[in-house]
Structure 1
């Protein structure tokens, strides 16, 4: 399950992706449009800024904009940034591998074999789906 923070981050990025790429969007506008608490959104956008995903501008024409194109920002990248490792078991993590405390051997662990397939399929979807993919509106 993803955190509320990750959901808000993805929604904020979707809002920025829908906006004019040359016009910064105010935090208040994103918060209202996406129903995200403003203070929480400020923290999330600051984290995304430090990671090089968004940029901010100060002043009258200030706000936030995407630093990278929406088609270059994957769900997996954002989830890993906000929530940490994307793995159902610590022994399957790519970025934070850790042997399970109760493990007698990874090669003989039936649970690991099943969840390795789950982790691979999940990563495939998350790292091949971009913010741009998510905001495409279906034709009526």
Structure 2
């Protein structure tokens, strides 16, 4: 499940994607526009900055902005930064694999095999969906998504 922190991170990044190319956007503006608690948003944006997604500027014209174009940042990158691996169980992880204590045979475990499929499908979607795609969907929603 997507955490509230990851959802807020994505919502804030969509604001910054819409503003890409303009000056930095104030945290207070993002928080008000997206109804995100300001203190929580500050921590989220700092985390994204520390991972090379955002830049920050201090002062009167300060705020945050995207370091790269919105078409170069995927939802998968953001979700992994905020929530960690996409796999629901440690034995299905691409990175940081950990076998389950109760597993008899990793190679034939139907739970692991199914959860790998879920992880792979999720990764395919999130890693091929950019912030630019999401901003475009706000203007032109696809019928199959709704």
* TM-score under structure 1 length normalisation: 0.95
1:94 deviation in Å?
1.5
1:97 aligned residue = 97
Alignment of 1:1-140 (within 5 A): 1-136=1-136, 137-138=139-140
Where do 4+ consecutive residues of structure 1 move more than 2 Å?
none
Instruction: Provide the aligned length of Structure 1 versus Structure 2.
Output: 139
Q: Tell me, what secondary structure is at the counterpart of 1:65? A: strand
Q: Is the 2:17–2:70 contact (alpha carbons within 8 Å) kept by the matching residues of 1?
A: yes
Distance 1:84 1:115 in 2: 16
How much does 1:101 deviate? 1.4
Structure 2 CA distance for aligned equivalents of residues 111 and 93 of structure 1: 13
Contact 2:17–2:132 (CA under 8 A) maintained in structure 1: yes
Distance across 1 between alignment mates of 2:61 and 2:31: 18
Distance in 2 between residues matched to 1:102 and 1:54, nearest whole Å: 42
Q: Which structure 2 segments of 5+ residues have no match?
A: 142-146
CA RMSD of aligned residues (A): 1.1
TM-score between the two structures when normalised by the length of structure 2:
0.91
Structure 1 stretches lacking a partner, 5+ long:
none
Residue 22 of structure 1: how far off its partner (Å) = 2.9
1:20 and 1:73 map into 2 onto residues whose CA distance is 12
- 1-structure distance, mates of 2:140, 2:69: 21
